[in-house]
Chains A and B, each alone.
Chain A
Amino acid sequence: MFNVLRRKLKQTLGRNKDLKVPHDKFEHGEGNGDKEKHPISNSLEQNKIILKEIFNNCSDVKFREFELGTAPAVKLLLVYIDGMVSTSDIHESIMNQLMLLEGLMEEISPEHTLELIREKLLPIGELSENGDFIKITDNILMGNAALLIDGEKTALILGIKEWESRGIEEPQSEPVVRGPREGFTERMLTNTMLLRRRIKSSRLKLEIKKVGIVSKTDIGIMYIDGIANNKVVEEVRKRIDRIKIDGILESGYIEEYIQDDWKTPFPLVLSTERPDRAAAHLLEGNVIILTDTTPFALIVPVTFFHFLQASEDYYTHWVGTAMIRLLRIIAVNISLLLPSFYIAIVTFHQEMLPTALLINIASAREGVPFPAFIEAFIMEGTFELLREAGIRLPRPVGQAVSIVGALVIGQAAVTAGLVSPAMVIIVSLTAISSFSIPNYSGALSLRILRFPLMVLAASLGLFGIMVGLMALLLHLCSLRSFGVPYISPIAPFIRSDMKDSVIRFPLWAMFTRPRLIGYKEPQRQEYLQIPKPPANPKRPSGGKERDNK
């Protein structure tokens, strides 16, 4: 499998001058490392030549030759990538220690240089040995430094990774009123730290895989052992191992490769920027997939209702949250159906409207030259355009676009008699509703589906909408995300999971984990911890009142 891919890669990319044949050997990382061995020799000079050949024209790779400060000086070569290692570590923990030896002169013997350096001289936490060019190259590319010693057949790998990265900031895509302000960052170890800080348990497992033949991106699979379904974890591993691609640049790449159905417009993997949300899902038994170089973590398996939930839902009062969740469901319906309903009613079912409203709409539509469908299509299309422009443009210009859009949609089009005012209301309501869906990819799928429904409504009225909705329901029912039915608490109906889908019950009532996801350890809290006033009817301060008598 891998060789075929390699041959293909060679065929397509091999013509590229950057990928000369000797390089190619070092481009496949661990995949082939077990079979092909490229041991280093004990001549430092020769190793240096080969490494220089590997890192030919890579000016950011530094080769620093120096000598161990012993009496028969031993030659050393330090190879690292500038900008990916900690310079202070290079200076203080490595060079300073090795070059300026004091009081060790008499202990040195040429046979045990490596042991000496490893055991006594280098004050570095992460340290390993390796004697293979491929592994050494990989390590250097990962941001470690390699220390080659003259006369030794193994090199020391020094874990001194350090690079500039964005600090922990508030997530832009999922703002909350109440809740932690920390968001994931592009650095995976920061993200795992954020999750470990929330779940201090040795049962929280992290498995790191490298995906991407050229990019060698770190992918972390996190789950809580004993809560997460082993089959799901195994399936995640399998699907990630199946990815053979040149590079992974964002978790979206992973998402597209691991989802169950590639044709669906619905997202089958939930992405989040919020560590608290990821931690909550870990506790429910989901598996988190972290990708280095992106702040978006993937959560599997998910159901449709996960896309209508925000992390804040669990931090604010449950009655309010229950209401807000109902509101979101209404928003989903409006965002999906309102334009098509308008078209259907105006075109086919005028009798459904009260007479006064019908007259109003009819008189407003009097001067409009288009049929309702074209009118709706133009307006929805314009809105989608404006929205896209608003996202892509530089922020100051974006403002201008929205002003122009407001004028075009709200004012000029109506005054010019191109669209009716009712249509403007419909479009803006749809827009507001689709903004109130917390997850971007969830809202996106509804935005896409709006248009086919509009076509159906224009051709067959309410019946057409219903046919479209039935087809949609059929599709939703046939979807699965890692084995979990997509609209699971509703169909198949699971009574115990209704507590956290359409509405949210108080936390003490959410006694079990979601049944299809966290069934391995269903109980998540003590039973019936209903908060109540103290059993003693007299209040603690009650005695005082009597005293006053």
Chain B
Amino acid sequence: MYIIGLVIAFCGIILFEAPKLIKEKMWGELMAFSGLLLFGMVISSAAVLNIDVPNPTALIEMIFAPPTKLLTSFFE
């Protein structure tokens, strides 16, 4: 159900931005737009379909939790 909404939303975004970019031949912009949108599409469909994708906060916690702990432990 949600996936239909998602598809409609993405179609809306593409229709809103892409024709103008193609008409004005802004290919760089089109590339950036499509790349970022593709990324957004992947993570949002994954979220809707309950597929686990790497979580940015998990990444941050993995990298920065140890130094943070070290830092704070001085002041406990």
Q: Do chains A and B touch in the complex (CB under 8 A)?
A: no
Q: Could you list which residues of chain B lie within 8 angstroms of chain A, going by C-beta atoms? A: none
